[in-house]
Structure formats: structure tokens, C-alpha cells
Amino acid sequence: GESVGLHLPTLSVQEGDNSIINCAYSNSASDYFIWYKQESGKGPQFIIDIRSNMDKRQGQRVTVLLNKTVKHLSLQIAATQPGDSAVYFCAETFSGGSYIPTFGRGTSLIVHP
């Protein structure tokens, strides 16, 4: 079936570096994408979203890039901080369907001081 997946299970960076977390999706009909952050012992928390009519969206220290040609999504975190250490999930949604996101496998981001 269709799936959303992440390329790397673990990403280690130094504090202050920029981080890039990647995600591949396979449902070409998906038109809404979300990044979630899940800290240990907590539920996933919304970070940023992007609709398929956009290529890039920026938030506070985070940027999401969408490449529909190759069905690729990335989350960029600028000046990574220890508090950014968490598992990051991408999710895709098809607005013509149930609106229920499909989640990929998480990437664990480890930020070293």
C-alpha cells in the first residue's frame, strides 16, 4: 500500500548546526503535509505544514520544502538546540479522502552540546 517513510532513523548534529530531516512519500495524490515533533514521553506536536500548491514554507527556525516531482519533503531546523532533540515524523494527507494523515517512521534527532 501507499506509505510515507523517512530516509534516516537517527541524525546526530552539534548544537548550532543546521539540521535537515528528509521524508519520502509515495501517494502522488497527497496534497497536505505535516511535520510533527515527539519528545520522549509525550505525544506528537505540530511543527509546520505545507500544502501541495507551495514549494517552501518557513516558520520560526524551521523551513519545510516540498518537491512534488520526486515526492520528497524535508524539514530544516536552523541553529539546532538541545531542546530540538526528539523524534520527527512527517505525515501526508489527501484532502479528497478522509483527511486522516498517514505517518511515516520517525527520525530521531540528537543534538550534542
Q: Which stretch binds another protein (CB under 8 A): 12-20, 58-66, 67-75, 96-104?
A: 96-104
Dist CA 6 CA 41 (whole Å): 21
Position among 64, 104, 109, 111 found at the interface with another protein (CB under 8 A): 104
CB 2 within 8 A of CB 90: no
Backbone φ/ψ region at 65: left (φ over 0), alpha (ψ -120 to 50), beta: beta
The least CB distance from residue 74 to another protein, in Å, is 17
Q: Name the grid cell of 8.
A: 534516516
Handedness of CA 91, 42, 39, 64 (dihedral sign): positive
The 10 Å CB-count burial string (b at 16+, else e) for 71-89 is bebbbbbeebeeebbbbbb
41 scored as a contact of another protein (CB under 8 A) = yes
Q: How far is the CB of 16 from another protein (least distance, A)?
A: 25
Site track for another protein across 55-74, x = CB under 8 A: --------------------
CB closer to another protein, 44 vs 77: 44
Residues in contact with another protein by CB under 8 A are 4, 9, 32, 34, 41-46, 49, 87, 89, 91, 93, 95, 99-101, 103-106, 108
